[in-house]
Structure 1
């Protein structure tokens, strides 16, 4: 779908630009906003699936077949299945709309692709059930960490919780960030675009969400009815935490893949693409980061500004190369939408000249 939509957006021209000639769709910022983050997300999925295959091989080849590695494989599989199938439907729909009326025509395959993939959000497990499995694993790991803690561990945890509450909700973290950035968008972005800080923000969201849910569920004690009641009450929070964890897994897979690339230009472009994926995740969840005091208003605003003014313009010239890398042969894509549009443009130019 991205192959079709991106190539069409590079061929389709609409409205005159500064020099009087018509502008390709992908030169419009809104179109870049629609398609480029989807390319970034797709690359994150590809790298995640590769890591999943590596884990599968490690377990079932007997290289490292333990109860823990099997549990890890099950968790990553469930998380990947849920997000990948949801992402696929979202991507196809956006690509369909980005191609206008042409995208709705059966001959261009986008509506057919969506119909074919629709079943996978429930096939082999409803996605919400898959994420509940992930959430259960997150809560289990959290419980293990505090199963038999010593006094020092408990004291450190309690102090950390009190400190976080005071700093985050009291606005001290936001104030400190504002002072550090001193009104500079560049400094605000500089903090967030750092790989370590991106990872910290994404990880902190997962850990905080899981800890919050665990503390709420703990109130049930050994009362089975109360446990069921609280689990149902916070079920949506569990799904959101599991989804955040799945997004973190994908960001980490993308980041790990960058370390295996040797070509300098490829590293630079794919780092921009990874940053676009990370920044998009942060932007989509800005309300959480602001409510919980993880980001100041200035840094939250800088995220959107950096996407629009830096990442999208940098990646725009490489859009075709990025979809070329999918290595999809014409017999698999099976549509001539972009080619037909280029021919239409040439024919129109010929008519105008004549």
Structure 2
């Protein structure tokens, strides 16, 4: 049974990731041809010149690369188990957990990203010949197929809780919090208030200094890891106090924290993707390629932090200055740096014309404008 379910989930993850690549290739190529809205000099800009368009497409591109790298690691893990090279109860449990998290996140990402690409292409994106609506319709069922995503993430969360229970014979929040401290180092200061005070002093009046902490690879990893560990620690503490003697109370407490379980598992899946992206960077030898791909990895990491700023602020992991600087760094630095490389990044997917099958990705807009220019000459 495990083999059937895991194979299906691995296959779905790869399929939807490739669909995202197709949609992004169409949307980004079109955005580098389609001109709209004259500026002060009367010249129209390509859509990719606009900050909002960059905000829609470039984080989606970064997330797709992270997802693709995570899928490659999942394939290696799958091969090790099913080839028999490393087939143990532990490795099978790891594979099942990663496959469940990957399937849930990738299918949700695909639906969101393809819809974003469809809208980014305007009315052209809605036309069946340009494939966006068809792709999204075909993938919609995957949020349920081979396991409903919410159910799969509960499986992931239960595995994380099980790992914590094995680490501690009698877990309580204090003990688990200490475990988190040992895992992520500097987070110890967060619980004593010293970290928050130091951040405010350093950040005052300096966006460059306040963002330097988060831009560092080690600290990105620390922030993403700490969120998962802290969420699981709190869940373990809450569920432990429900007790085993009263099944009604146990069920009530579990149901009360069901959404927290989903959020913790989703955070774990995103951490897996960030780690896979970071591992892939270590295999890049060309310095210029490494620089661009590091910016793209940072965009993925910063986007994850930005999406969860409420948690980081409420739990004292980031000051308001650093939180504000994250958005400023995305909009003011990373998007501008990555915009000139967007075409190269989608070309690197290596998709043939037969796989893309949309004129929007192959100069239809340029040909349209040339035809209009000749007609008006």
Matched, 1:97 2:83: no
8 Å Cα contact 1:14-1:24 kept in structure 2:
yes
2:175 and 2:111 mapped to 1: Cα distance? 44
User: Hey, what does 2:352 align to over in structure 1?
Assistant: 329
User: Hey, what does 2:158 align to over in structure 1?
Assistant: 136
The 5 Å alignment of 1:58-207 reads: 58-147=80-169, 154=175, 157=178, 168=190, 172-207=194-229
Query: How far did residue 229 of structure 1 move?
Result: 1.4
Kindly indicate whether structure 1 or structure 2 has the higher relative contact order, using CA contacts under 8 Å at least 6 residues apart.
1
8 Å Cα contact 2:176-2:233 kept in structure 1:
no
User: Hey, what does 2:371 align to over in structure 1?
Assistant: 347
Structure 2's unaligned 5+ residue stretches are 1-22
8 Å Cα contact 1:174-1:297 kept in structure 2:
no
Query: How far did residue 58 of structure 1 move?
Result: 1.1
SS in 2 for 1:303: helix
Query: How far did residue 170 of structure 1 move?
Result: 7.8
User: Hey, what does 1:259 align to over in structure 2?
Assistant: 282
8 Å Cα contact 2:180-2:229 kept in structure 1:
no
1:286 to 278, 296, 309: 309
8 Å Cα contact 2:118-2:125 kept in structure 1:
yes
Matched, 1:234 2:257: yes
User: Hey, what does 2:331 align to over in structure 1?
Assistant: 308
2:189 and 2:285 mapped to 1: Cα distance? 42
1:16 to 38, 53, 69: 38
**TM-score, normalising length: structure 2:** 0.88
**TM-score, normalising length: structure 1:** 0.93
1:345 and 1:156 mapped to 2: Cα distance? 61
Query: How far did residue 92 of structure 1 move?
Result: 0.5
User: Hey, what does 1:271 align to over in structure 2?
Assistant: 294
1:214 and 1:181 mapped to 2: Cα distance? 34
SS in 1 for 2:262: helix
8 Å Cα contact 1:168-1:174 kept in structure 2:
yes
Query: Which piece of structure 1 moves more, 10-19 or 168-177?
Result: 168-177
SS in 1 for 2:37: strand
Query: How far did residue 347 of structure 1 move?
Result: 2.2
RMSD (Å) for aligned C-alpha atoms: 2.2
User: Hey, what does 1:28 align to over in structure 2?
Assistant: 50
Query: How far did residue 225 of structure 1 move?
Result: 2.3
8 Å Cα contact 2:204-2:321 kept in structure 1:
no
1:100 and 1:156 mapped to 2: Cα distance? 49
1:235 and 1:284 mapped to 2: Cα distance? 20
Query: How far did residue 222 of structure 1 move?
Result: 1.5
2:238 to 209, 212, 216: 216
8 Å Cα contact 1:32-1:316 kept in structure 2:
yes
- Could you give the per-residue CA deviations for residues 80-138 of structure 1, whole angstroms, max 9, x where no partner exists? 00000000000010001111111111111100000000010000000001100100000
Structure 1's unaligned 5+ residue stretches are none
Query: How far did residue 181 of structure 1 move?
Result: 2.6
User: Hey, what does 1:5 align to over in structure 2?
Assistant: 27
After superposition, the Cα gap between the structure-2 partners of 1:270 and 1:293, relative to the gap in structure 1 and judged at 3 Å, is same
2:95 and 2:146 mapped to 1: Cα distance? 16
Number of aligned positions between the proteins: 348
